[in-house]
Structure 1
Amino acid sequence: MTRHGARGVAVAACLVAALLAASACGPSSPGPVPSAADPSLEPGSAAPTTSPDADGWWRAGEVATLATGLAAPWSVVPLEGGGALISQRDDGLIRELGPDGALRDVGVVDGVVSGGESGLHGLALHADGDDTLLYAYFGAEADNRVVRMPLLGAPGSFELGAAEVVLDGIPRASTHDGGRLAFGPDGYLYVTTGDAQQRDAAQDLGALGGKILRVTPTGEPAPGNPWDNAVWSMGHRNVQGIAWTSDGRMWASEFGQNAWDELNLIEPGSNYGWPAVEGVGGADGYVDPVVAWTTDEASPSGIAARGGTVFLAGLRGERLWAVDTRDGALAGEPVAALTGEQGRLRDVVAAGDGSLWVLTSNTDGRGSPRPEDDLLLRVAVVSAG
């Protein structure tokens, strides 16, 4: 999982500020939750049907650098009004990219115990009345857990309030820790977990490992879950990306073991086969992936959706995959961009101006020849039809 070479030249501060401002202007500017969810909705209510990306497919375009000097970043959350929050896995630090393009420390999440691939992982924002709550998934001393904290202050000077545990008891290990958070179109919180090296846990409905979980904002199993517990889908090895296309369908990226990485269409109550199946198995009772890649082409972490296109950030694959979908199926051959240009890619999210924001991951002990910093990139998207 080495990097072929360092790319990405920092742009002038004025350009950074202009790009950040552009990401928050116009009718397509999102609320503080960077998923299909509308934070003003009550959980379980219908999401708006209109979207600036309601139709069509998209491709990666020009790349600009928004921030440098990041250390093992894992998750990026665009903020209303410009800027972003970024988690750093190994030191448990949350950093803010302000509306002016300046990078500052917000605070360390209390209780993070890093080791191997575990540490501070996914972030998500949710509105609670007049308050904004920041959710974080991280490895603690004995488990993985989700907490939420009030996000205090104003853009450019945010602080973290006291943390409240939302969900704990998720198994942790040096690898296979899952870690992505997102509020879905239904207003509920989706949490991805890995099998934490306990392969059989993925097939055990009484275990939280190897699952996608769906819970209320306070951590209870969400109404309508298929097994009347927190589990939404099972049979996963290590899901690190979830997103919803404009038709409301849910997608997830999954690390394979030695042969095949996956993009899966997620349906409630479905079993995705691990550890019995890796990649396309055609086995009764298990759902096959929509796309499978060899592990050197992908190792996908974060994903984002624009219209009917799902974008996957590849770690070992060192590329950004664009996958066009229609009616829950593949609509054409996946297209790769940024191949080897920025090294390992950890996360990709949809920003309010229609662009993608991408985190690199070259400072996490994987042998990068340029270990001094990681980048936050802005990738323009252009119509593909």
Structure 2
Amino acid sequence: MPERRGTQHGTPHEGSGSYEHYLDGLPRALADVAATGRRLTREELKTRRTLGEQAAEDGHGLRALVVAHLAAARAAWPAGPGSTESTLAALAAVEQAVDAFAEGYERAQRLTVRREEAARREFIDDLLYGRSDLGRLAERAERFGLHLSRAHAVAVAEGPSAYVEGGPTARRVAAAVLARYDSRNILLTTKNGRLLCIAPGDEDEILIHFAQQAYAATDGGRVAIGRPQPGPGGVVQSYEEALAALEMAERLNLSGPVLRAADLLIYPVLTRDRQAMADLVSHTLGPLTAARGGAGPLLETLTAYFDAGCVAAEAARRLNLSVRALTYRLERIHHLTTADPADPAHRYMLQTAVIGARLLDWPNRPL
């Protein structure tokens, strides 16, 4: 074999001493390979994989460990002339050793990543469902950058298709948010096909930026932002408010890509006593079921009329009707219900009943 280069005494590369444990048995095996031309045994390769796993678990970098392996190989290289066959055998053994070591190292890293992902998912589930002891939850939260003694708010985005953890859309949104704001105070994740951003309650601009990015990434969709809530249980409260806002937006067909739970507080108030609301809808709008075609078209007319600020021309435009046809429908509603949509004295009752009907999904569902 060719004459050995490096230090006169054949010691490993400077700095490799701290890695001696992970090089255990390698110099002897390489010397034997060079002398006999054999390949590394199955047991020797298993040892290299095991040491690679240990090195990963101990937090060492793979690059420095590979350098240490090459330095050890150089140190163990036999001095003096040698055959081409023995040289090739030694080089093949070095390749085998480094490959097996790297395989074990990468396997340990994958296991660590899986454990971290499982721990993160378990924490997120406990955080959003409020199932864990709050004191213990606060301790675990610090590991993921959340200090639950502060108030937090949650933004929930839903798009035309479900968000997938680690999917391209979720990664793109996360990258856009984390490129601008401190990742230590933000938790981005997915839940039930929706994309979530949890941020300190006094940093509203983070949630707004998240909403903008989520809307742009899906070419549509909708984002709801819960109110800031304090304490370990505040995250789940804000999350539930955001979910409720998305549900109300769907039922009421609210416009705008970003909804704030704070702006929609009137709707939970209206539905807090469901039976009272059902009675109002039944009493006020129930007679519309006697109309030809049922209550649906007339209820749609009232919705458009109130959404247009009670301007008949604008409501007709939204419904693709003539103003005369719209006026006829309003008169028909007045006749059936005895309540005149154009009369301010009747308007509040009718509009409240219309909102209640949309929240209760009437007349599609019986009251």
Q: Give the strand-richer structure, 1 or 2.
A: 1
Return the TM-score normalized by structure 1.
0.19
Return the TM-score normalized by structure 2.
0.20
Q: Give the helix-richer structure, 1 or 2.
A: 2
Which structure has the larger Rg?
A: 2
Higher relative contact order (CA closer than 8 Å, sequence separation 6+): 1
